[in-house]
Amino acid sequence: MSNYILYGITVFLLILSFIKDKNKTKKSLLKAWKAFENILPEFLVIILLVGVLLAVLNAEVISKIIGADSGWFGVILAAIVGAVTLIPGFVAFPTAAMLLQGGAGYMQIGAFISTLMMVGIVTMPVEIKYFGKK
């Protein structure tokens, strides 16, 4: 239900912007579409890879590798995987929930999500492309 409220607010504000200045609104929508087109291939590859990995790895394998009983080895492994994986936040958090349901440990998932969001070895070229080296 809250999604509908947010969509409604967004549409209302877009209409308000369009009424105030049609040209600026059209330019901003075109610019947003171009940015979406540039980022879309990267997101599709990520979503595809995550889907394949979740289909291949069952709960037993996940539990052995990064389960609560895997200890520090599982934490370090999850941190390394998180550091080199390119997954956006809107995919990472549902993935973490699925991994937890599949038998992963909380400490391991915490390390995975923390390094995924903060380290970004693989995302570095993309970040430099969009944000610059500084």
Exposure string for 80-92, b = 16+ CB within 10 A, e = fewer: ebbbebbbeeebb
Give me the half-sphere count of Cα atoms (radius 13 Å) on the Cβ side of residue 45: 7
Compute CA 124 distance to the chain's CA centroid, rounded to the nearest angstrom.
15
Domain-embedded: residue 109: yes
Q: What is the pLDDT of residues 104-127, one digit of tens each?
A: 889 989 998 998 888 777 667 777
Domain-embedded: residue 67: yes
Angle (deg, nearest 10), helices 106-118 and 89-101: 170
Contact 7, 49 (CB under 8 A): no
Q: CA torsion, points 12, 15, 20, 24, in degrees to nearest 10?
A: 120
Domain-embedded: residue 45: no
pTM above 0.75, yes or no: no
Q: What is the pLDDT of residues 1-31, one digit of tens each?
A: 788 999 999 999 999 999 999 999 999 999 9
Q: What does the pLDDT read at residue 14?
A: 92
Domain-embedded: residue 81: yes
Q: What is the pLDDT of residues 62-94, one digit of tens each?
A: 777 788 788 888 899 888 888 887 677 777 888
Structural domain boundaries enclosing 91: 57-131
Domain count, the chain: 1
Domain-embedded: residue 93: yes
Q: What is the pLDDT of residues 31-59, one digit of tens each?
A: 999 988 887 887 777 667 767 766 777 66
Domain-embedded: residue 88: yes
Domain-embedded: residue 84: yes
Domain-embedded: residue 82: yes
